[in-house]
Structure 1
Amino acid sequence: MKEIRLHGRGGQGVVKASQIVVKAVVQEKKQGQFIPFFGVERKGSPVFGYLRISQQPIRRKMQVYEPDILMILDDSLVVLPATYEGLKEGGTIIMNTVKPLEELKIPSQAGSVAVVDATGISEKILGRNIPNTAMLGAFAKVTGLVDKEILFQEIEASFGAANREAAQTAYDQVKSVEA
């Protein structure tokens, strides 16, 4: 089982992105689970959620304390202690950013870091900062946990062809950087 924690801000699509991943993995005959956590429920406030993907039934129903993967939809959240908290040794970070690595406070246990300008992609293609579908494209390429075509079909079914284009663009542009 892979455990993923997503960090973003209200209005960036953390919940919808996770729901799409669960739909896609279920189509692949895998197990998927998403548990949202909202805290202050208003646009722009920090939000996070927990996502699990497994070949076996998922029995855990609690938050993810030690994620294998962190998806960070807003790089301003790296200053919050909870953002990197519990990342497993050798874990993966996928981040929406254009900042240099030195500014991102990457923890030493990170095994790999991948970055993509999901905000720039979403603003160019969608006309606004909703980076969730672009981040899903990056997630598909970096992790290989979900079939790209099934995921992209779910994105298009939920949000339309422009969002699929945003996911494909991020898939093509995501870059691995040294941790």
Structure 2
Amino acid sequence: MKEIRIHGRGGMGSVKAAEVLVYASVMDGKYGNSIPFFGFERQGAPVTAFVRISSNPIRPKNRVYNPDIVIVLDPTIMNAVDVFEGIKENGTLVINTTCKPENLKLPKNVKGVAFLNATEIALETIGKAITNTVMLGAFCKATDLVSIDKIAEKVEEFWGSKNREALYRGYEDVQVIEF
């Protein structure tokens, strides 16, 4: 089982991204569940969503405290939340950033980083700085846990063709580094 934690802000689609991952994983013949967590329920406030994906039925229905993968939709969230809290040994970070990985303060247990400027891609493709679909594409390339085509089906169903384009741009533009 892979456990994933998504960090974003209200209005960025963190919770919907988690739902799309679960739907796509089920379409891919796997099991999945997602759990949202809201602090202050307002746009721009930190939001965390939790996802589990497995080839076997999933029993836990609680938050993910020790994720294998952390997805950061908005890099400014790192000033408000410890996104690395509990990340497992050999963890993977998928981050929206303009920084190079060597300029990020990564804990030693992070062994893979997937990075891209998802904000720029979102603005170019959907006209808004909502990065969830771009980051789903980056996640897909970095982890190979869920088929990009299954995610694309759900993305288009929920948000339309511009978001599908954003998804594929995230998949193509992400840079993945293993340490």
TM category (shorter chain) comes to: over 0.9
Following the alignment from structure 2 to structure 1, what is the Cα–Cα distance between the partners of residues 171 and 115? 11
SS of 1:35's equivalent in the other structure is: strand
Query: How far apart are residue 80 of structure 1 and its match?
Result: 3.8
Contact 2:101–2:113 at 8 Å: present in 1 too?
no
Unaligned 5+ runs, structure 1 = none
**Aligned: 1:48 with 2:11:** no
Aligned sequence identity (%):
46
- Deviations 1:10-46, CA, capped at 9 Å, x for gaps: 1110011111111111112211100000111111111
* Cα deviation 1:41-71 (Å, max 9, x = unaligned): 1111111011000011100111111100000
Pairs within 5 Å for 1:81-120: 81-120=81-120
**C-alpha deviations, 1:68-121, integer Å up to 9, x for none?**
000000111223453110011110000011123354321111010110111100
Q: Would you say 1:163 and 2:163 are equivalent positions?
A: yes
Aligned position for 1:20: 20
Q: Say if 1:75 and 1:104, in contact at 8 Å, map to a contact too.
A: no
Report the Cα distance in structure 1 between the residues aligned to 2:103 and 2:76, rounded to whole angstroms: 10
Check whether the contact 1:78–1:105 (CA below 8 A) recurs between aligned residues.
no
- Tell whether the 8 Å contact from 1:50 to 1:64 is kept in structure 2 after alignment: yes
**1:50 counterpart SS class:** strand
Q: How many residues align?
A: 179
* Counterpart residue number, 1:39: 39
Verify the 8 A CA contact 1:78 1:104 in the aligned structure 2: no
Q: Is contact 1:30-1:56 (8 Å) kept?
A: yes
What secondary structure, in the 3-state scheme, does the structure 2 residue paired with 1:98 have?
coil
CA-based RMSD:
1.3
Q: In 1, distance between residues paired with 2:178 and 2:51?
A: 25
TM-score by length of 1: 0.95
SS in structure 2 at match of 1:166: helix
CA distance in 2, matches of 1:154, 1:3: 20
Q: Unpaired segments of 5 or more residues in structure 2?
A: none
How far apart in 1 are the matches of 2:139 and 2:102?
22
**Residues 128-167 of structure 1: pairs in structure 2 closer than 5 A:** 128-167=128-167
With structure 2 as the length reference, what TM-score do the two structures score?
A: 0.95
* In 2: Cα distance, 1:81 partner to 1:157 partner: 32
Quote the residue 1:71 is aligned against: 71
Q: Which runs of 4+ in 1 moved over 4 A?
A: none
Deviation at 1:172, TM superposition (A): 0.4
Q: Distance in 2 between matches of 1:148 and 1:83?
A: 25
